[in-house]
Amino acid sequence: MTRYTVQGTKSSPHIDFDPMTGVLRMQGESYPENCSRFYGPMFEWLNGFLHDPGVPRVRLDMEIVYFNSSTSKTFMDLFDLLDDHAGQGRDIEVNWRYHEDNETAQECGEEFLEDVRHVRFNLVEVGD
């Protein structure tokens, strides 16, 4: 499987999924004009990746400074997908990174944490 990378823009995050390491990174802001169109290819790639039995573990590092309500729904779909696979025995960890002065990102991370049952979901405060 090839690496999946999308360069970030003002309104969309940088995405880098490395199948060799199992590390998935998302960073930036997310308020694309059409969430389905932007994130659809990522979900297709991720579904293929998660169905590969040779992938021992997955780590998702997210540092999203700002996101809109459409993105929030998309992220919940993402965490549901990961949680389903973790419930089937896949080792999956999410690191939700937020800046110490970004209470909104922290609170959103706490809400996402409450909605997953099998994924190890870590809230990681970072300084400026």
**Which CATH number fits the domain that encloses residue 39?**
3.30.750.24
Q: pTM score, two decimals?
A: 0.94
By residue range, what is the domain housing residue 50? 4-126
pLDDT of residue 90: 93
pLDDT of residue 10: 96
Residue 81 gets which letter from DSSP? H
Average pLDDT of adjacent 10-residue blocks, the chain of 128 residues:
96 96 97 97 96 89 96 98 95 97 96 97 92
pLDDT of residue 37: 96
Question: What type of residue is 86?
Answer: A
- Please choose, from the candidates 29, 58, 34, 56, the residue with its C-alpha nearest in 3D space to the C-alpha of residue 46: 58
